[in-house]
Structure 1
Amino acid sequence: MIEQQLRLPGGQTIPYQLDLRLRKTIGLKITANGLVVHAPKRISAIQLQQVLLQKAAWIQQKLALRETNQVAPMQWQDGEPLLFMGQDIVLTLQHHATNKAVVLQGNQLLLRSPQVDQPAFVARKVLQWYAQQALPDFKRRVELVAAQMGEKITSVALSNAKSRWGSCNSRKQIRLNWRLIQAPPHIIQYVVCHEMAHLREMNHSARFYAVQESLFPNHVQAEKELRALSPILHRMA
């Protein structure tokens, strides 16, 4: 990703992330971090600027809507609401003489430590816990879909990307954003199936969507749900 600025006729600027790919068209996406532009590798700066200026009103409208839908930043303190597998849970902090493993007890994510008054420490321990839950869950899902497809996966790893939920490359390596473990299981499954479909088609062509349809028929609705849920999932840095 390349950090860029779109300068509008009135003098305002809109920051955006430029992702140059092997593609024929320009794609615009509003993420939790702002505007992301996917563009062909060989496009000129002038061509790109012209297209973005034509879409400036749409971009400003979507960015304004994103601001109104912003959720409160994460507060790493006792009683903080969290999500796990689509369920509401609560962060519970307790002072203890020694550090204890983070555990989920009912609807409480319990952290006992002498350092519970240190937000950075709490954040690190909780994020570690989420990653520990995410990887085995994602691996199991990928293995099941791979078996269904008759494919073999090289590796499954966690991603910390800000604007992508997953990736699949020609070496059959799957990466999935750990934040997805907060989402309902069917949303996780949708992303897994989306990335697995790339094993057959490394693009977003009609053939790709046919493969995705066979793996996850309700993908259109799931994509809408994930887009709406995205700001909440990205509360965790």
Structure 2
Amino acid sequence: MNRLLQFTLDLFERDPTPAAPSGPVKRRAAPPRRPKAAPTPDPQLFEPPRPKAPTPSPAGPPAAPLTEVIAPMSFRHPQANRELQLQGTWVAYRFERARRRSIGFVVGPEGLVVRAPRWVPQAEVDAALRTKSAWIVRKLDEARERQTRQAEASVAWADGAELPFLGEPLRVRLQPGALAGGLLHSLPPEAAAEQGVRHLLSLGLPPQAEASQIKDAVQACLMREAKALFAQRLDHYAPQLGVQWKKLALSNASTRWGSARIDGSIRLNWRLIHFSLPVIDYVVVHELAHLRVMDHSPRFWDTVAAVVPDHAERRQQLRLGALPRW
């Protein structure tokens, strides 16, 4: 279109008659005019008209705004009593007044829980939420992804059920003649390749046992294996960190993998048994390091790195692991 417009402007702006010179002019016979060649049409300027998109009937409903078609992401705690938009995301959270000195945020499987002192106004709580908005939304997104992976890793509690054990698949076999507490054994590589699993757990239960009964028996067996393994790994790493642990207890917390007290008491989540040994070792070293540094300062992470240099990668595996629901 620009070329056609330029051609038209040239026709009207150019004066074919030269300016008249001053003084007498000798007239010469005008040479015979040659007919001008017609301009070659540009095929891009003379394309056939494209068919127009059908016009919606005026009687039809108007198009919905984009904000109504694509709803913003949202997170909602089942017991939410406050709501705020953070990073373009609606976050409905549970708000509690508590006897504490500062505002606390906890992101768990159900969503965000905020606790604040009684004297802190709501506007200050909202300001603190906006300050931490990137961290909160990231943690909520990770929790949602973790729940999705856990749902995909759900276990059908019956003969032949499979679940992860030390990072590898384990299969449950119901054998009435097996030990009542269960018998767990690992297969050699050839048998594992043939069976498609690395570990077998034989339970002394009948094939028609109820799902809850099978689940409880498997959990009891895995907790027993977990406590023995955790004690072994604590004994292995404590001398390297120059600390002594006094007591080991298993936990079933939904948001914490372990804890340590200054008196040498260690608590480890028994569900760590689903992860590979390097990931378990990271958590063991993490809690033992707290016996030297009771915070998460740079000195603490230097202590962990001295024994587990790749602790960041192992921690990421811990956060992204898909575990069965119990």
TM-score by length of 1: 0.79
Q: Does 1:177 align with 2:254?
A: no
- 1:69 is displaced (CA, Å) by 3.5
1:104 to 178, 184, 206: 184
Change (3 A) 1:9 1:228: closer
Task: Please give the secondary structure, in 2, of the residue aligned with 1:187.
Answer: helix
Give matches, 1:197-236, under 5 Å. 197-229=289-321, 232-233=322-323, 235-236=324-325
Change (3 A) 1:67 1:87: closer
Cα distance in 1 between the residues matched to 2:121 and 2:308: 38
Give matches, 1:186-201, under 5 Å. 186-201=278-293
**Structure-2 residue corresponding to 1:7:** 82
User: Which is strand-richer, 1 or 2?
Assistant: 1
Change (3 A) 1:174 1:19: farther
- Counterpart of 1:51, as a letter, is A
Point out the more displaced range, 38-47 or 215-224. Answer: 38-47
Q: Does 1:78 align with 2:178?
A: no
Give matches, 1:3-152, under 5 Å. 5=80, 7-9=82-84, 13-15=92-94, 29=107, 31=108, 33-35=109-111, 44=120, 46=122, 47-52=124-129, 55=133, 58=137, 61-62=141-142, 64-66=144-146, 68-72=148-152, 73-94=154-175, 96=176, 100-105=180-185, 106=187, 107-114=199-206, 116-152=208-244
User: Which structure 1 residue ranges, 5 or more long, are not aligned?
Assistant: none
Number of matched pairs: 228
- Counterpart of 1:86, as a letter, is G
Task: Please give the secondary structure, in 1, of the residue aligned with 2:284.
Answer: helix
Instruction: Output one character per residue of 1:119-170: Cα deviation in whole Å (capped at 9) or x when no partner.
Output: 1211111111001101111111111211222222111111111110000011
- Which structure has the higher relative contact order (CA within 8 Å, separation 6+)? 1
- 1:52 is displaced (CA, Å) by 2.9
Change (3 A) 1:48 1:109: farther
TM-score by length of 2: 0.59
Say whether the 8 Å CA contact 1:6–1:52 is kept in structure 2. Answer: no
Instruction: Output one character per residue of 1:186-211: Cα deviation in whole Å (capped at 9) or x when no partner.
Output: 00000000111101111111111111
User: Which structure 2 residue ranges, 5 or more long, are not aligned?
Assistant: 1-77, 188-198
**Alignment RMSD (CA, Å):** 3.5
What is the identity percentage for the equivalent residue pairs of Structure 1 and Structure 2? 29
- Structure with higher Rg: it is 2
